Amino acid sequence: MHSSSVTPANDLEAIARKGGKLRRMAVRIPTYMADIRENPAWLPMFLLARTIPGRRAHWLTAKASNGSIAGLPSMFDGVDADAAVVALKRDGIFADLQLPDAVTEEISAFAHETPCFGNFDRKVEFMASDHRATEDWLGRPILSGHHFERALDCPAVLAVQRDPLLSEIARRYLGAQAQLITTRTWWSFPTRASEADRSLASLDKYHFDLDDWRMIKFFFYLVDVDAGTGPHVYVRGSHNKRRMKHQLTLLVGHPADEIVDYYGKDSPITLTGKAGSGFVEDPFGFHMGTVATEKPRLMMEVGFGVSKPSRRRFHGEPVLR
Ligand SMILES: O=C(O)CCC(=O)C(=O)O
């Protein structure tokens, strides 16, 4: 009696979990297919870059970086690129970046004044201050608001993207082939989002990125981010060590208990901070954004990789079904 009443519930839970996994994966398939059509070289990367041997083999092609930024003006005064690269190699993350106030204010003002696109859908265009009204009009939750290519209309965004310190860290970590592959700004809104929307926005589930063989991403908060603003979480050390089960699956997202059991309960770091604070991470390490519960989060990302960038993905735009 006891076991028969428990087993079906467990089965249902397992089926639901599997259904959730499939839904999360299905939502990314149109993007993966578009990537392969645009650049067939993406297929071997997609299949092999998730494995540690595949990755290590690719790291062997990294060329030593010979350039130096000594003498070039940077807005990140006092940041030691060597210390950043040491931390990236050891932990997968360096969390000691700070934008000048004027830059933070300029990007924040731009994001408040520029319409964004909800849930990556170009038909859902609205100002961040109209988020609730737009949800009412649309009849469903809006989790994210991206500015896509409009971000490059903001001179301060361009100044961050082109800052020599970022490319210096990228070249020293990824090798001389490092090149810019993403620049995006976006809002994450507090709302009750569906599993599919959370998956598209890479929220609330530990995952690793498979957009290139070797990558780093710089993230900057443009509002104060505390526990209620959907802070980013990164699992230290998970960028160079991977459970076999997580290498031999097409899924990039995995349950938190599996991650914490393997990497240790002290390995996840939750990144809260003032507007303007930033960090750089190797996104092969497990990470996630969390869904904001109280206030919208405004974030900027500048990503570097070693392969030809995709125009669409440059601004974080997936393909919707
Ligand atoms: O929104 C975030 O904090 C995470 C974004 C993310 O997971 C990603 O860019 O891969």
CATH of the domain at 225: 2.60.120.620
Amino acid 158 reads L
Count of domains for the chain: 1
For residue 2, being part of any structural domain is answered with no
**Which ligand 1 atom is the nearest neighbour of the CA of 230?**
3
Amino acid 211 reads D
Confidence of residue 21 (pLDDT cuts 50, 70, 90): low
268 strand-pairing partners? 235
Structural domain boundaries, residue 153: 9-315
Nearest CA to ligand 1 atom 8: 202
Query: What is the DSSP secondary-structure string of 136-182?
Result: HHHTS---EEE-GGGGGGSHHHHHHHT-HHHHHHHHHHH-TT-EEEE
- Asked which of 23-32, 242-251, 290-299 is least confident by mean pLDDT, the reply is 23-32
* Segment 150-166, tens digit of pLDDT: 999 999 999 999 999 99
For residue 131, being part of any structural domain is answered with yes
Whether residue 116 contacts residue 125, with contact meaning beta carbons closer than 8 Å, is answered with yes
Q: pLDDT averaged over the chain?
A: 89
**For ligand 1, mutation pick of 119, 203, 218, 302 (most atoms within 8 Å of CB):** 203
- The stretch 275-300 carries a mean pLDDT of 96
For residue 282, being part of any structural domain is answered with yes
- Residues contacting residue 28 through CB under 8 Å, at least 6 positions apart: 199, 200, 318
